[in-house]
Structure 1
Amino acid sequence: MCRHLAYTGPAVALGELVVEPAHGLYRQSWAPRRQRHGTVNADGFGVGWYAEDDPVPARYRRAGPIWADPGLTDLARVVRSGALLAAVRDATLPSADGEAAAAPFAAGPWLFSHNGSVSGWPGSLAAPAGTLPAEELLSLAARSDSALVWALLLHRLRAGDELGQALADTVAEVAREAPASRLNLLVTDGARIAATAWGDSLWYRADPGPRSVAVASEPYDDDPRWREVPDRTLVTATRDDVLLTPLKEPSA
């Protein structure tokens, strides 16, 4: 598994959300409190953020553990943003993908992360992969289940599907082909956040003033405003509103 976080609200230093909290992603990389599968998130990390008046996010990703990169600590101290998506990647089997396999994945205005795994990978997603144009398959960011799930989602987003609907339909498609998958997905365009709770923990925190929202695998502090998301639920959020929508099990 992995751990991830998305935020939109007043501009803050990246470190205020990722590094400094007592139970933030930095610490979750070796001591997560609510992770149900796996214990050490050391095979890469990434932070994506949005600059003011620029819809295309920047990213900083590395293949190693977040605690071993002093550059991230320095960067997170001075870079400020009103929207970000960050993730730490669970220890996995060796591969040649390096930082290309580390979330967030990105295209256009979107950032994406997957907390979970696709059962029966790679054979289980042969049918959905066959629906993608060849150029989209050849441009996969990495040879991982998360990269293919991202390609399936991105295909819907580029076709004009709304953020939450695209996410829900992607989860339904993958779960139908690989029923035992864990599909906690997280995507943002800088203004909106959409996420799914499907097999692991998911929480959100909405702050009324100044208005902001964070959606995360687990709370990064002990603030009582954190709320747990029920399993099989779609979360769609802006800094003004959070909507929870039950997700149905896909039909055979």
Structure 2
Amino acid sequence: MCRHLAYLGPEEPLDRLLVEPPHSLYRQSWAPRRQRHGTVNADGFGVGWYAPGDPAPARYRRAGPIWADLSFADLARVVRAGAVLAAVRDATVAGADAEAAAAPFADGRWLFSHNGMIAGWPDSAAPLASALPPVELLSLQASTDSAFVWALVLHRLRLGDDPADALGGAVRELAEAAPASRLNLLLTDGATIAATAWGDSLWYRAEPGTGTVVASEPYDDDPLWQEVPDRTVLTASRTGVLLAPLEDPASVSPKEPCT
């Protein structure tokens, strides 16, 4: 159910990050090694990157499989970046949103991706929609569960939450409303990465001088890759990674009434 990757570090050509590794995101579009749900990620793809001196990222998104896009091969060969977020998509349900449904979603300096699904979508998410201003609901980039998750996260960012709190708060809300959901989220502003592991695999690789990668699964067999425990929020920079537990609403006992 989708694969994604974020990178912070020295400038690299996109193909060195996304295509050349033996188990790259490009290869994960048809042969992921650690994907627990779904087998082929051919319902769209996207990559976002930050150019020096410009806080707003550029994006390239398409509705079809990454391996069928010859223009992407040229783009990836020549574009260099020190901050990247990319994803290949396996749709939760069929839809007509085309490339608008492909991550990364964007607003201002932010790039966002969701690996997973909202269980019982869309009925299960309806109660959460009432917490969003109507203009934000009407501005959804696609009629998908991932676009809705992005709306919840973006609303929290606009209210002043830091990235880890915005992701963690949205995950707890969604997990309470739809307990069987898988909510691996990835967010970057070009300087930091925040991510959640909730129901699917998440890994990171950090090494001084070579940067930090956070991904659904390792793109090679380097022993520096570390798996993130489930129910965890991750924050990362170019120099290090911090992990913190995410409380599962289902594990919290209801308070006894006062007598």
Say yes or no: does 1:228 pair with 2:227: yes
Query: Structure 1 residues 91, 171: closer, same or farther in 2, change over 3 A?
Result: closer
Q: In the alignment, what sits opposite 1:49?
A: 49
Say yes or no: does 1:28 pair with 2:28: yes
Please give the TM-score of this superposition, normalised by the length of structure 1. 0.98
Quote how far apart the aligned CAs of 1:158 are.
1.1
Quote how far apart the aligned CAs of 1:147 are.
0.4
Q: In the alignment, what sits opposite 1:154?
A: 154
CA distance in 2, matches of 1:133, 1:181: 24
Quote how far apart the aligned CAs of 1:94 are.
2.6
Structure 2 residues without counterparts, runs of 5 or longer:
255-259
Quote how far apart the aligned CAs of 1:159 are.
1.2
Say yes or no: does 1:4 pair with 2:8: no
Structure 1 runs of 4+ aligned residues shifted over 2 Å read 91-94
SS in 1 for 2:37: coil
Quote how far apart the aligned CAs of 1:91 are.
4.5
Q: In the alignment, what sits opposite 1:214?
A: 213
Q: In the alignment, what sits opposite 1:193?
A: 193
Quote how far apart the aligned CAs of 1:160 are.
1.2
Letter in 2 for 1:244: L
Quote how far apart the aligned CAs of 1:20 are.
1.0
Q: In the alignment, what sits opposite 2:140?
A: 140
Quote how far apart the aligned CAs of 1:92 are.
4.5
Asked if 1 retains the 8 angstrom alpha-carbon contact of 2:105 and 2:111, the reply is: yes
CA distance in 2, matches of 1:76, 1:211: 19
> Identity over aligned residues, as a percent?
71
Larger radius of gyration: 2
Q: In the alignment, what sits opposite 2:241?
A: 242
CA distance in 1, matches of 2:135, 2:82: 33
SS in 1 for 2:196: strand
Please give the TM-score of this superposition, normalised by the length of structure 2. 0.95
Q: In the alignment, what sits opposite 1:83?
A: 83
CA distance in 1, matches of 2:96, 2:141: 12
CA distance in 1, matches of 2:95, 2:227: 34
SS in 1 for 2:20: coil
Which runs of structure 2 are paired with 1:111-150 in the superposition (5 Å)?
A: 111-150=111-150
Asked if 2 retains the 8 angstrom alpha-carbon contact of 1:43 and 1:92, the reply is: no
Deviations 1:112-164 (CA, angstroms, capped at 9, x unpaired): 00000000100111111111111100000100000000000000111111011
SS in 2 for 1:74: helix
Query: Structure 1 residues 91, 147: closer, same or farther in 2, change over 3 A?
Result: closer
CA distance in 2, matches of 1:163, 1:95: 29
Query: Structure 1 residues 128, 91: closer, same or farther in 2, change over 3 A?
Result: closer
CA distance in 2, matches of 1:93, 1:120: 11
Aligned-residue Cα RMSD (Å) equals 0.9
Q: In the alignment, what sits opposite 1:96?
A: 96
Deviations 1:31-88 (CA, angstroms, capped at 9, x unpaired): 0000000000000000000000111000000000000001111100000000000000
How many residues end up aligned between the 2 structures? 251
Quote how far apart the aligned CAs of 1:193 are.
0.2
SS in 1 for 2:132: coil
Letter in 2 for 1:43: D
Asked if 2 retains the 8 angstrom alpha-carbon contact of 1:40 and 1:91, the reply is: no
